Amino acid sequence: MMLVRVVRMEFEPAKVQDFLSLFEERRNTISKQAGCSHLELLQDASKENIYYTLSHWKCEEDLNNYRESDFFKETWEQTKRLFSNKPSAYSLLKMDQ
């Protein structure tokens, strides 16, 4: 099985470009974290200021190790300043097919 992490983020409309720039700047480093096999950014179909990150992790331990890293803490601190509402996150298990 694989862990799929979905994070929903709603940004102040005037700060969306700041977020997109930050994400592009850090995308490669996030993708190279131990256990991360996939990372993508999705935009809500009806609200231009809502984005989702979708990432795949080998296991929950790998995700937690990333979330405890200084790199994540710094990135998240910068991202939080851009929100217009509280984010939500979900960890899902992808069943083997």
List pLDDT tens digits, range 26-83. Answer: 999 999 999 999 999 999 999 999 999 999 999 999 999 999 999 999 999 999 999 9
List pLDDT tens digits, range 7-23. Answer: 999 999 999 999 999 99
Domain count, the chain: 1
What DSSP element (H or E) covers 93?
strand 88-94
Distances in whole angstroms, Cα of residue 80 to Cα of each of 11, 58, 77, 84, 97? 9, 26, 5, 9, 36
Residue 20 in domain? yes
Query: In which domain, by residue range, is 60 found?
Result: 2-92
Continuous H helices in the chain: 16-31, 60-67, 70-80
- Is residue 42 within 8 A of residue 54, CB to CB? The reply is yes
Q: Residue 8: give its domain's CATH number.
A: 3.30.70.100
Residue 36 in domain? yes
Residue 19 in domain? yes
Continuous H helices in 32-69: 60-67
Residue 97 in domain? no
Residue 32 in domain? yes
